Structure 1
Amino acid sequence: MNLHDFYYDLPQELIAQDPLSDRSSSRLMVLDKNTGEIEHKIFRDIVDYLNPGDCLVINDTKVIPARLIGEKEGTGAAIEVLLLTRKADLKDTWEVLVKPGKKAKIGTRIHFGGDKLIGEVIDIVEEGNRIIRFEYDGIFEEILDELGQMPLPPYITHKLEDKNRYQTVYAKHEGSAAAPTAGLHFTEELLKKIKEKGVDIARVTLHVGLGTFRPVKEENVLDHHMHSEFYRIDEEAAEKINNARKNNGRIIAVGTTSTRTLESVAKEDGTIEACSGWTQIFIYPGYKFKAIDCLITNFHLPESTLVMLVSALAGRENVLNAYETAVKEKYRFFSFGDAMFIK
């Protein structure tokens, strides 16, 4: 399976730079995974495609303002630090991505917001990745909220006016370096309508790491290595998912992150147990889905692992044809773009 098998041509102007004022008014492409048939709707119409007894699975991770701009102690050189993973075994210690990496040798100290936050490089992981230990007075989360910026993907060049627009309305557990963007289309009102229709909503948590967006560089996609991401599924979510399956309801994942969480833990019969851990699952065509039946997702980058996952569910030709149609119909692409429902 070659990388170029997942290429499509995307005009730059179709990359959405700003979120819509009304989350649920984005466009929705409905793709039948069996026939390849396409319908064009508005996102709030998703209610019409959900049935009583279905279970909608959402990822309630919360993005932290993980991008910090600091100055190197001694020289004042600007250094950008992106928080990736908090080290559970070491207090106030994170794995981070540093730009420029060559300025961040072991022992380098970086000041953020004057002396409000100081980081010291204590280890080198790979290329631009470092382990940094932080010093501060007060509560780390509050300092981060004051000094940090939302880590928007590099293809978004506009400044985000409202931090909350890069969070889902149900974001709860802090820990992501990027938003689970399929969930950005839901409003409280829309979720209420979905519940009133008799659809169960199960919350899982997967903290999205930047590995999800790492470009695939290997020509043979099977040589690509996924980074680990932490997930948690509680008893209540497992029970809702298993009940829906037992009663012939569909499991509808909101986003590739919810999908990867469920597929990482599902047994052969599709049942789920409450658990937590780290996943490196890489889903590409040929994969047999155990947990999910349908998927709500955004339009993803060419040749990305996300396009491969969607192609595994709906078929590569169906997906590439849908993307070609989306380009022709001027859908908005990527994080702040429009949505697709694969039924």
Structure 2
Amino acid sequence: MMVAARSFQVPKYLDASTPAEYRGISRDHVRLMTLDSVTGKHFHHYFYQLDSSLREGDLLVLNNSRTLPPVLKGKRGKQAIEIRLSRKLTDQEWEALIVEDVCTVGEKIDLPGELTATITGKGNEAPLVILSFSKSGLDLYDAIYRYGEPVYYEYIKTPWPLEMYQTVYASVPGSVEMPSAGRAFSWKLLNKLKRKGVKIAYLQLHAGLSYYENDRWPNPSNHPEAFRIPEETAEWVNKTKKNKGRVIAVGTTVVRALETAVNHGGHVEAQEGITCLYIQKGYPLKAVDGLLTGFHEPEASHLDLLTAFIDEKLLMKAYEEAISAEYLWHEFGDMNLILPMEEKR
């Protein structure tokens, strides 16, 4: 099932093409719109004021996957080729997008550092292919970090360094696009939240490509991504639910991982694997109560997931308000918190 098109349009002047640090502010000084998921009532703040919307006993779950530089530029004969890695399959194989070109199985691409990639098959969905590299394990990661670049979509006008595509707490390499919902956090803010009694837990979900160029997006009902939920995180989620606290996912990646790990008894289990979970309107959320996320394009399947938290009419009304109030979109943009504001009884 593909995402339904929404009627709103984001003006190009609201595309955040520059990281906050290069706009003269710190990460946690981007703007924040908080939505009551029940009433749709919205509040305007700055991200460093996040603590005003949270309370003692809440749990924030963050994705500490670290972003790789997945764009590799090589040659097929004399022809320039751009590869965008999407998902690791084995120590030597990746699913990838070959940009603006058609390649066939068996073709070899020459890359910097005496690295080659051979197309061995079709990927999970078109237009992805499977690449087998001449190096594996740490040697392959070393080549990717030495010669790769971040993904720069059309609204990015400057080739920002890889560090701009990391959250401050990122520690486990694997994502090809930044889990951007957590980008606005600073250690100062995280410590401020801890002092208030908000618990912090981590998991990993390695984000794949979110866009395949030429108006092509991943099929949200068949988009596998690797995840890992540690024992401690599962315990904190279950304890928070038992104590009637709110579990707040920092990013749609965290929602997918936690909801995938819910067992028949309604508890989150520590586990690792691959998730293809597609969350949309009417999905019965069992692990997560609230969501901290960015603002999404009308074509993005992330909006389907948001409608599991809040009625779509209320969400679209809030998005219209965000456009009117000139909130910024994309990974360097402003933030949106969706959660029930009333105390649980």
TM-score, normalising length from structure 2? 0.89
**1:230 matched residue in structure 2:** 226
Whether contact under 8 Å (1:209, 1:229) holds in the other structure is: yes
Q: What's the counterpart of residue 156 of structure 2?
A: 157
For 1:283, the aligned partner's letter is I
Q: Which amino acid aligns with 1:165?
A: M
Q: Is the Cα contact below 8 Å between 1:58 and 1:201 reproduced in 2?
A: yes
Q: What secondary structure sits across from 1:156 in the alignment?
A: coil
Alignment deviations for residues 232-280 of structure 1 (CA, whole Å, 9 cap, x no partner): 1011111111111111211011011101111112236642111111111
Match of 1:59 among 52, 57, 63: 63
Task: Please say if 1:118 is aligned against 2:116.
Answer: yes
Q: For the Cα contact (< 8 Å) 1:84–1:177, is it kept in 2?
A: yes
User: Contact 1:71/1:110 (CA < 8 Å) preserved in 2?
Assistant: yes
Deviates more, 1:77-86 or 1:135-144: 135-144
Change (3 A) 1:60 1:305: same
Query: Could you tell which deviates more after superposition, 200-209 or 263-272?
Result: 263-272
Matched, 1:81 2:83: yes
Tell me the residue number matched to 2:191.
Answer: 192
Structure 1 residue 99: Cα displacement: 2.1
Consecutive unaligned residues in structure 2, runs of 5 or more: 340-345
Describe how 1:264-343 pairs up with structure 2 within 5 A.
264-267=260-263, 270-343=266-339
Distance in 2 (alpha carbons) for counterparts of 1:93 and 1:309: 30
1:130 has 2:129 as partner: yes
The aligned residue for residue 34 of structure 2 is: 30
Pair 1:305–1:50, CA change in 2 (3 A)? same
Verify the 8 A CA contact 2:63 2:203 in the aligned structure 1: yes
Percent of aligned pairs sharing the same letter? 34
User: In the superposition, relative to structure 1, how do residues 27 and 34 fare at CA in structure 2: closer, same or farther (>3 Å)?
Assistant: same
Is there any run of 5+ residues in structure 1 with no aligned partner, and where?
A: none
Q: 2:49 aligns to what?
A: 45
Match of 1:149, SS state, is coil
Judge conservation of contact 1:270–1:291 (CA < 8 Å) in 2. yes
In the superposition, relative to structure 1, how do residues 337 and 273 fare at CA in structure 2: closer, same or farther (>3 Å)? same
Partner of 2:75 in structure 1?
A: 71
> What residue is the counterpart of 2:178 in the other structure?
179
SS of 1:139's equivalent in the other structure is helix
Distance 2:309 2:221 in 1: 20
One-letter identity of the residue aligned with 1:253: A
Amino acid at match of 2:273: G
Whichever residue aligns with residue 207 of structure 2, its letter is: V
Question: TM-score, normalised to structure 1's length?
Answer: 0.90
- Match of 1:6, SS? coil
Q: Deviations over 1:30-81 (max 9, x none)?
A: 1111111111100011011111111100011111111001111xx3101111
Measure the CA separation in 2 of the matches of 1:111 and 1:278: 30
- 1:206-228 Cα distance to aligned partner (Å, 9 max, x none): 11112x4469x99xxxx963311
Give the aligned residue type for 1:129: L
Contact 1:116–1:143 under 8 Å retained in 2: no
Count how many residue pairs are aligned between Structure 1 and Structure 2.
330
- Return the letter of the residue paired with 2:48: R
Kindly indicate whether the alpha-carbon contact (under 8 Å) linking 2:220 and 2:301 is maintained by their aligned counterparts in 1.
Answer: no
Task: State the 1:7 CA deviation.
Answer: 3.0
Question: What amino acid maps onto 1:245 in structure 2?
Answer: K
Kindly provide the amino acid, as one letter, of the partner of residue 34 in structure 1.
V
SS at match of 1:83: strand
Whether contact under 8 Å (1:101, 1:128) holds in the other structure is no
The amino acid across from 1:132 in the alignment is L
> Mapping of 1:212-231 within 5 angstroms?
212-213=210-211, 225-231=221-227
> Counterpart amino acid of 1:339?
M
Q: Aligned equivalents of 1:202 and 1:292: distance in 2? A: 13
RMSD (Å), alpha carbons:
2.3
CA distance, structure 2, for counterparts of residue 81 and residue 209 of structure 1: 14
| 1:52/1:325 CA distance change after superposition, 3 Å | same
Aligned to 1:6: 6
Asked if 1 retains the 8 angstrom alpha-carbon contact of 2:2 and 2:220, the reply is no
* 1:149-176 deviation line (CA, Å, top 9, x unaligned): 0123x24332233311111111111111
